[in-house]
Structure 1
Amino acid sequence: MSIRNPRSQTSAPYAEALTAYAQKEWIRLIVPGHSADERAFGSLAGFAGGTQLRQDVTPLLDGLDLGADSPMAQALQLAAGAWGAHRTWFLTAGASQGNRVAAMALGSLGQHLVVQRSVHSSVIDGLVLNGMRASFVQPTVDCELGIAHGVTANDLAAALAEHPDAAAAFVVTPSYFGAVADVRALADVAHAAGVPLVVDEAWGAHLGFHPDLPQHAIAAGADLVISSTHKLGGSLTQSAMLHLGHGPFADVLERLIQRAFRASQSTSESALLLGSLDLARRRLATETDAIGASLEAADLMRRQIRARGRFTVVSDGFAQFPDIFAADPLHLAIDTRAGGIPGHEARWRLMKEHEVMVEMATNTTIVAIIGAGAAPDTGRFIDALHALPVTLDQRHDALQLKLPAPGEMRMAPRLAYFAPSRTVQAEQAIGQISADTLAAYPPGIPNVLPGEVVTSEVVSFLQATAATQGGHVRGAADPAVRTMRIVTPAD
């Protein structure tokens, strides 16, 4: 299910009202302080554009935000209808805000959460905020490429049976590499255990809006879905949505989410971001042909990569993993090691030598993303990819950075985060309790959490990641991860 009546989705009430508002000759004696004065703020107007200055308005204005039938209320109703949700919230701090809102709300349902271990670090930030204990479900891992996928319904069921006090289950799908889990089976398992299923669908805002795309999580029975609309849905960076499903937990979750949303919501939300969400929803809901063209471009890229024979397509091996129910065709993950070049180097050379940007790299792969409705120059990308030099003598194991298994969880994330701590040499941190969340980024999946024991494998992996071209460890005070912050043992 995606859109019951596409014709009802053809307007963009908030974006249209904002455009009309910006065209009036206001004397603006209000914030923001630039007052849309292009002459006085010429450098800002030159940077952002005069139209954007005029559309950058303060929140809570009559004719835009206020009232039960305001343009904003209409835009939210249309978004809920497009995704088949019971209710939708617009977010201006990304899906990370949505993950934190969800975690804060779930804290009212209990003190224990079952969580996919490969969640985004913002989910762990939410656990720090709400103080909940977490039990983790391990995802399947492609050991050869060193990438994590999703969880199976059987593994989630086992975790929920082991922890009957769990208040909810929190999973991630699609993965950064386009692997889509069986959300229907996961929802059935969660509901059988009497808990809601929360899905971080940051990479799947576009799902369900074309017959050749997998079903989106709300349609598959999820109770709460975090949607990073700016990623593949076409809104401006930092804009996202939070969707509430129609399941048995809708009433209680609606009240809790609204409360948590208000606690995290900026009182100065960007009208530009909000308007872009309204327009992205309309485009997804009404421009199926444009999405189809993007799918054709992605399929052409895969065919050409296979035909040339140097590189391989990661999704061609998805069938061997029991958690992968479908693949998102707008994610193009490429095994660069097969073509004789590390992923980080391939990404760097594509950008510096060919002015081609790809979303991310690991040591063995690159991931190219095609936005729903985008029309990339496929030939230029394929030619640039195959113009990369061979810098590896062979497909040797030295290239592979094996994902480290997490250490034992000895403290709740919140307790470890706020506990007295000290900074030590990374080698001295081995066997100690981490005070921080550290994650190779992208994709931002934590490799060590507050409360987990630091292992030698984690230290080696993070240091190797930081040493690679373009490598970055989110949360590290020392970019090279020569030092780490650990919980100070109690006397």
Structure 2
Amino acid sequence: MNSTAQLRAPYAEALRSHAGQDWLRLNVPGHAADTAAASSLVRAFGAGVPLLDFPPLLDGIDLGTDTPMDEALALAAAAWGARRTWFLTNGASQGNQIASLVAAALGRTLVVQRSVHSSVIDGLVLSGLEAAFVHPSVDTEQGIAHGVTAADLAETLARHPDAAAAYVVSPSYFGAVADIRALADVAHAAGVALIVDEAWGAHFGFHPDLPGGALSQGADLVTSSTHKLAGSLTQSAMLHLGHGPFADVLEPLVERAHRLVQSTSASALLTASLDLARMTLVTGRDAIGDSVGAADKIRGTIRALGRFAVVSDGFGRFPDIAAADPLRIAIDTRAGGIPGHEARRRLARDHRIMVEVATDSAVVAVVGAGSLPDADRFVEALHCLPSPLDGGADEPLRLSLPEPGPTRLTAREAFMGPSRLVPAAEAVGLISADTLAAYPPGIPNVLPGEAVTAETVRFLQRTAAAPGGHVRGAADPGVTRLRVVG
């Protein structure tokens, strides 16, 4: 990883060189990098963006043998410790869909952490696999899910000898890191591969103050959302294959599934950003250390001032949490007298500060690996927030995660079968045809094939009504109707 080759970004360099030539572009994209004809693009993004916007299959860049693209992929694999890496231009969601499709060749049932991202459930719809769920620990005070223990995974695998693979999430949206080594050992002992949705951990392993990456802990296939904290452009990601006992079987399957779902017009801009992000991570140890220091400063100041609480300070209560991502700053705003959704709204409106996500109880801020935010500005704005709950008002109940309903059909059967829209109250007890997920973070609260519960309906409607709240997959913004099987 420290070789001189890692100091280059071969694909990005080749793309810049290609763009610097005097081309008459009579191919797609239709703007043809004509700065006059594409004036709106130039005004919005500058001349460099359309000039670099080339289609795939260019001689000397990604077509042929030993191309800059080949070199960029090999450097990424070396940087993350993978046997092989694929670049993705439809986000980590695409990686999760590929992993689910691959698993269908290995068995009939995917053992899945129940708090996976909704894209994994989309993958179940595509693959037709049955699912057996491992339930994560839940912080009932915060209403957030963490990870799963090796013991719980082993128990579920033992009940499903036809398991195709085990699918877990680490880190969680709130920065909880699972014991991937123990989970990998359990999966391998059961004769199945461990797939890890490490969307939020693409930066892991690039600094001693960060947790180790899932590949280094024995994971077999890892989805990495490189754009989140590792510095590439939004919608770019990677999929990494490990060196474990399933590598020979998985590699050709992943290659074929990647061709199935990757665009034939993959963005050169997104691809180049992945190449550049890898180079920046490998060479940016000092900058990453400064980022960790800034995040530590924010948490330390919040603790010292005493109004709010740091969510990760309570991680020790949960046996499934092995570490915490120091670049994730989850703050219990309810402890300081203001709901998370209201805190997020006021931070944006009054202070022009964007945080990653809000829940009923908390906000989560993130620090990109290598970035250096104004810690004092954030802490000051946070402590300028009013306490709407003061003055004798009753404190609203915390919004707890609902227990899922029982599974009646596979995700594919429910999603693809006949369905109808009914008022939400009438959907209780019926089988959902859709994935419904409070978003962000996009963790499904009801899956296709699961029975709808009254508790889930209340949770989703209250989430949708909150400032900034959104339910992915809902038939209408207020979740007044649900699509059910039948």
In 2, the alpha carbon distance for the partners of 1:293 and 1:483 equals 48
Residue 300 of structure 2: SS of its match in structure 1?
Answer: helix
Once the 2 structures are TM-superposed, how far is the Cα of residue 444 of structure 1 from its aligned partner?
A: 0.2
User: Out of 174, 177, 185, which is 1:177 matched to?
Assistant: 174
**2:262 alignment counterpart:** 265
Superposed CA deviations along residues 19-52 of structure 1, whole A, max 9, x for unmatched, are 1111111111111111111012111111122111
Once the 2 structures are TM-superposed, how far is the Cα of residue 392 of structure 1 from its aligned partner?
A: 1.2
**1:7 alignment counterpart:** 4
Residues 278 and 395 (structure 1), Cα distance of their counterparts in 2 relative to 1, 3 Å cut: farther
**2:319 alignment counterpart:** 322
Question: Mapping of 1:8-407 within 5 angstroms?
Answer: 8-393=5-390, 398-407=396-405
Given that residues 363 and 399 in structure 1 are in contact (C-alpha distance below 8 angstroms), is that contact kept between their aligned partners in structure 2? no
**1:415 alignment counterpart:** 413
In 1, the alpha carbon distance for the partners of 2:16 and 2:29 equals 17
**TM-score of the two chains, using structure 2 as the length reference:** 0.99
Residue type at the aligned position of 1:255:
P
Given that residues 342 and 399 in structure 1 are in contact (C-alpha distance below 8 angstroms), is that contact kept between their aligned partners in structure 2? no
**1:479 alignment counterpart:** 477
Once the 2 structures are TM-superposed, how far is the Cα of residue 6 of structure 1 from its aligned partner?
A: 4.4
Given that residues 389 and 395 in structure 2 are in contact (C-alpha distance below 8 angstroms), is that contact kept between their aligned partners in structure 1? no
Once the 2 structures are TM-superposed, how far is the Cα of residue 8 of structure 1 from its aligned partner?
A: 3.0
Once the 2 structures are TM-superposed, how far is the Cα of residue 105 of structure 1 from its aligned partner?
A: 1.1
In 2, the alpha carbon distance for the partners of 1:472 and 1:241 equals 27
Aligned residues: 485
Residue type at the aligned position of 1:414:
R
Residue 421 of structure 2: SS of its match in structure 1?
Answer: strand
**1:465 alignment counterpart:** 463
Residue 486 of structure 1: SS of its match in structure 2?
Answer: strand
In 1, the alpha carbon distance for the partners of 2:468 and 2:239 equals 31
In 1, the alpha carbon distance for the partners of 2:279 and 2:433 equals 44
In 1, the alpha carbon distance for the partners of 2:248 and 2:271 equals 25
**2:433 alignment counterpart:** 435
% identical aligned pairs:
67
Once the 2 structures are TM-superposed, how far is the Cα of residue 395 of structure 1 from its aligned partner?
A: 10
Residues 384 and 6 (structure 1), Cα distance of their counterparts in 2 relative to 1, 3 Å cut: farther
In 2, the alpha carbon distance for the partners of 1:51 and 1:275 equals 13
Superposed CA deviations along residues 254-305 of structure 1, whole A, max 9, x for unmatched, are 0100010000010100000000000000001111001001000000000110
The Cα RMSD (Å) is 1.0
Residues 137 and 396 (structure 1), Cα distance of their counterparts in 2 relative to 1, 3 Å cut: farther
Once the 2 structures are TM-superposed, how far is the Cα of residue 16 of structure 1 from its aligned partner?
A: 0.5
In 2, the alpha carbon distance for the partners of 1:449 and 1:40 equals 46
In 2, the alpha carbon distance for the partners of 1:473 and 1:315 equals 26
Once the 2 structures are TM-superposed, how far is the Cα of residue 470 of structure 1 from its aligned partner?
A: 1.1
Given that residues 171 and 325 in structure 2 are in contact (C-alpha distance below 8 angstroms), is that contact kept between their aligned partners in structure 1? yes
Once the 2 structures are TM-superposed, how far is the Cα of residue 58 of structure 1 from its aligned partner?
A: 1.1
User: Out of 441, 449, 452, which is 2:450 matched to?
Assistant: 452
Q: Structure 1 residues 146-155 or 62-71, which shifts more?
A: 62-71
Structure 1: gaps of 5 or more residues: none
In 1, the alpha carbon distance for the partners of 2:295 and 2:41 equals 37
In 1, the alpha carbon distance for the partners of 2:237 and 2:259 equals 16
Residue type at the aligned position of 1:347:
R
Structure 2: gaps of 5 or more residues: none
Residues 396 and 171 (structure 1), Cα distance of their counterparts in 2 relative to 1, 3 Å cut: farther
Residue type at the aligned position of 1:254:
E
In 2, the alpha carbon distance for the partners of 1:275 and 1:459 equals 43
Given that residues 337 and 395 in structure 1 are in contact (C-alpha distance below 8 angstroms), is that contact kept between their aligned partners in structure 2? no
**TM-score of the two chains, using structure 1 as the length reference:** 0.98
* Structure 1 stretches of at least 4 aligned residues deviating more than 3 Å after TM superposition: 393-397
Residue type at the aligned position of 2:102:
A
In 1, the alpha carbon distance for the partners of 2:160 and 2:104 equals 16
Residue type at the aligned position of 2:149:
T
Given that residues 6 and 285 in structure 1 are in contact (C-alpha distance below 8 angstroms), is that contact kept between their aligned partners in structure 2? no
Given that residues 6 and 286 in structure 1 are in contact (C-alpha distance below 8 angstroms), is that contact kept between their aligned partners in structure 2? no
Residue 46 of structure 1: SS of its match in structure 2?
Answer: helix
In 2, the alpha carbon distance for the partners of 1:485 and 1:67 equals 48
In 2, the alpha carbon distance for the partners of 1:25 and 1:370 equals 40
Residue type at the aligned position of 1:277:
L
Residue type at the aligned position of 1:444:
G
Given that residues 338 and 395 in structure 1 are in contact (C-alpha distance below 8 angstroms), is that contact kept between their aligned partners in structure 2? no
